Structure 1
Amino acid sequence: MANPAVALSKNAYAYEELRRQILTGDIPQGSVLNQAQLAQEIGVSTTPLREALRRLAAEGLVQLESHRDARVASLTADEARDLYVIRENLDPLAAGLAAESRTPADIANIQAALEQLTPLHDAADLGAMTVHREFHRAIYNASHNPLLIGILEGLWDKADRYRQIGLQSQKDSEKDRIRVQEEHIQIADAVVAGDAIRAREIMHRHVVGSLGRRAISVLATR
């Protein structure tokens, strides 16, 4: 059986594995990362591990405290609230611009991503979270606004950690899962139809009912 570290390249494998452990909570928030020990556990040398830590720090998942020390970034109600405010304003903006600017290729990407979507049942289901990201990425890309796309993309991993908190605190009911799926369909339909007002409206409703918003109250009571 092939070594996954070789198949991906050691740098990429170290990044993907460490990111996975942080997003699933296998490495809890606030944990100090012993680089030598972690490199041994993952099966790489410290050089690709340090490169992975630099990438994760740029994404806000890790804090580099010195040349040797790193810590998994803590989750706070204030940051959850800040992320929510950004998404409440920028996601609808992206959806509205997408409705105005989408191309046939964008429409094909949105519809393909929509077909792959599955409900988020469990906080450890990174596969479902990945296809959820791909749908929103297709909407963002259809806006054809590179600065806006960069902001929203740059915050996605950080936001995913708060979605995990939301799922861990309370699993979505079947009614919630149906609502979220219907919102995705309505967002896609509005963008494809070129209805910017409706695209913004449905996306705003989608963000208001999001797991990220649920995480705010969860963390505020801790």
Structure 2
Amino acid sequence: MPPRLQPVDPVYLKGLRAHVREELRRAIIAGELPSGAVLNERQMAEQLGVSTTPLKEALRQLEAEGLVVAEPRRGIRVTFDAEQAEEMALARAALESMIARMAASRIDDEGVARLAAIVSKMAEATAASATDDLIKLNELFHDAIHEISRCSYLQRILVGQRVYVHTARQFILSDAEERGRALREHCTIYEALARRDSDAAEREMRDHVVRSARQHVKAAFENRGQPQTAPQAVRATKEHNS
């Protein structure tokens, strides 16, 4: 079954390259473009409603992110899979949990109030099924903890994962049950930070990141089962070249 790549809306023309890159990244991380698929650039450009120029540029950037690889005489192959997703999540869990630990030891009353306000808005967004707002608040919550921790070095290491994390959040928070679980976990993290409990903050953050990542892997890869052949729109280019 072909992946559901969305045609480019005219409003995005100014940022065409970025939009194409984001749509392809979303399809890869959501498991719609499976690991091992060799992408047919012409067909994908037609689906997206763009020329091959912004598509090629987007694919070069995705290669730099480790999601695809260019192979001589074969084309662009998707390399992102469940194993890579889990590996990235474990690395993020180690960093985020240490940041949470440091934040618990450095947070002041103003920081507690700041996180409380974000969690309150997250509860409202969850109740309203406002997924886009919830994604923004989710990122705001983690960014606030980063700032409170003052762990600038650890934050710099995490920068390379921000794009992946944002896209994975878009995918898993589209599920109502997952939104509820995420809210409960963020509340638990907040409570540990408000108590200045470093051990609990570290543990709850690690458990949250690992669990949500495993949910992403399960939904994007295991439940779907990665097809043995690429979808029609990304059929192996050897067929095109034969």
Is the CA contact 2:66–2:80 (under 8 Å) kept in the aligned structure 1? no
Superposition map of 1:68-217 within 5 A:
69-77=75-83, 79-102=84-107, 110-111=115-116, 113-114=118-119, 115-116=121-122, 131-158=137-164, 180-192=182-194, 194-208=196-210, 210-213=211-214, 215=217
- CA distance 1:43–1:53, shift in 2 (3 Å): same
- Deviations 1:112-170, CA, capped at 9 Å, x for gaps: 54323666xxxxx7876565444334333433333322333423554678889999xxx
Asked if 1:4 corresponds to 2:11, the answer is yes
The secondary structure found in structure 2 opposite 1:25 is coil
Question: How many Å apart are 1:184 and its aligned residue?
Answer: 0.6
What is the Cα-based RMSD across aligned positions, in Å? 4.2
**Counterpart-to-counterpart distance in 1, 2:204 and 2:87:** 21
Q: Which runs of 5+ in 1 are unaligned?
A: 120-124
**Counterpart-to-counterpart distance in 1, 2:71 and 2:147:** 34
Question: How many Å apart are 1:12 and its aligned residue?
Answer: 1.6
Asked if 1:57 corresponds to 2:63, the answer is yes
**Counterpart-to-counterpart distance in 2, 1:126 and 1:33:** 29
Equivalent pairs: percent with the same residue? 34
- Deviations 1:42-74, CA, capped at 9 Å, x for gaps: 122323222222332233322233598222224
Q: Which residue of 1 aligns with 2:235?
A: none
- CA distance 1:21–1:146, shift in 2 (3 Å): same
Question: How many Å apart are 1:18 and its aligned residue?
Answer: 1.7
Larger Rg: 2
Q: How many residues matched?
A: 209
**Counterpart-to-counterpart distance in 2, 1:96 and 1:136:** 13
Is the CA contact 1:5–1:14 (under 8 Å) kept in the aligned structure 2? no
Is the CA contact 1:159–1:212 (under 8 Å) kept in the aligned structure 2? no
Is the CA contact 2:39–2:75 (under 8 Å) kept in the aligned structure 1? yes
The secondary structure found in structure 1 opposite 2:77 is strand
Question: How many Å apart are 1:107 and its aligned residue?
Answer: 5.7
Asked if 1:36 corresponds to 2:42, the answer is yes
- CA distance 1:116–1:97, shift in 2 (3 Å): same
Q: Which amino acid aligns with 1:27?
A: L
Is the CA contact 2:28–2:80 (under 8 Å) kept in the aligned structure 1? no
Q: Which has the higher contact order (CA 8 A, sep 6+)?
A: 2
State the TM-score, normalizing by the size of structure 2.
Answer: 0.63
The secondary structure found in structure 2 opposite 1:70 is strand
State the TM-score, normalizing by the size of structure 1.
Answer: 0.67
With 107-116 and 146-155 compared, the bigger mean Cα shift is at 107-116
Q: Which runs of 5+ in 2 are unaligned?
A: 1-8, 226-242
**Counterpart-to-counterpart distance in 2, 1:194 and 1:213:** 28
Question: How many Å apart are 1:194 and its aligned residue?
Answer: 4.1
